[in-house]
Amino acid sequence: KNEVEQSPQNLTAQEGEFITINCSYSVGISALHWLQQHPGGGIVSLFMLSSGKKKHGRLIATINIQEKHSSLHITASHPRDSAVYICAVPLTTFGNEKLTFGTGTRLTIIP
Amino acid sequence: NAGVMQNPRHLVRRRGQEARLRCSPMKGHSHVYWYRQLPEEGLKFMVYLQKENIIDESGMPKERFSAEFPKEGPSILRIQQVVRGDSAAYFCASSPQGAIYNEQFFGPGTRLTVL
């Protein structure tokens, strides 16, 4: 079982729809990262959150530490939101941190 | 403040050659992470470095791969005697402190193709 699991793997939606991407993890963490990988391959950090909710523009990320679950929401989706969305958690080994990644959710927004 | 820089962006090598990938972290960042993304696969941690120190190299293959982050200059990921299976996108990321409490900023990646 992967330590970080995302669902769905692929998501196609019409422009304007409300999008939800889920991430579950099996280890205790102090923070979770949401990343966006563009079709060209570049990676952008969207959020890092350790509790509650964060909002940036049309993007909202929530996390429930007790349930080991996070969601990324996109309101009023647009074709330019088409990308792979990746959640990642830092796993510590002897105090050293390294990110472990989910397999990503490929989002396609159709005009 | 420039972001994380990686060069080259694309690198083509023949089997048996050496590949050197460079990463310049954001100004003020002393923590560098290298990740590899194999074709159609997710990102995988390779190595975590601070200036002049390798902190965690548990994700790096034991042979042919090495990494350094000298006091001056960029971090270097070096792959000796490349094989076709090394073809991948290699990303580095930097943070001002460790990953637990700090956002990581990613570079654009180096796409390595081994012929």
A30: nearest CB among B33, B101, B109:
B101
**CA of B20: how far to CAs of A67, A93, B82, B110, in Å?**
42, 28, 11, 10
* A9: exposed, middle or buried (Cβ count in 10 Å: 0-12, 13-18, 19+): exposed
Residue of A5, A6, A43 to mutate, testing the B interface (most B Cβ within 10 Å of its Cβ): A43
* B103: exposed, middle or buried (Cβ count in 10 Å: 0-12, 13-18, 19+): middle
Chain-chain contact of A101 with B100 (C-beta, under 8 angstroms): no
Measured in whole angstroms, the distance separating CA A16 from the mean position of its chain's CA atoms is 19
Distance CA A22, CA A107 (A): 12
Contact partners, residue A53, CB within 8 Å, separation at least 6? A60, A61, A62, A63
Query: Which pLDDT score is estimated for B4?
Result: 94
Q: A74 in contact with B at a CB cutoff of 8 Å?
A: no
Average pLDDT, chain A: 90
How far does B2 lie from chain A, in Å, by closest CA? Answer: 14
* pLDDT tens readout for residues A46-71: 998 888 999 999 999 999 988 999 99
Residues of B in contact with A88 (CB under 8 A): 43
- Binding-site residues on chain B for chain A (CB distance < 8 A): 33, 35, 42-45, 48, 55-56, 58-59, 89, 91, 93, 98-106, 108-109, 111
Chain-chain contact of B106 with A43 (C-beta, under 8 angstroms): yes
Distance CA B20, CA B70 (A): 15
B56: nearest CB among A35, A44, A96:
A96
Distance CA B83, CA B115 (A): 8
Chain position carrying tokens 């952008």: A44
Residues of chain B with pLDDT under 70: 1, 98-101
* pLDDT tens readout for residues B24-56: 999 988 899 999 999 888 899 999 999 889 988
Query: Which pLDDT score is estimated for B1?
Result: 53
* pLDDT tens readout for residues A72-90: 999 999 999 999 999 998 8
Label residues A64-90 b or e (16+ Cβ within 10 Å = b).
Answer: ebeebebbbbbeebeeebbbbbbbbbb
CB-defined contacts A:B, below 8 A: 65
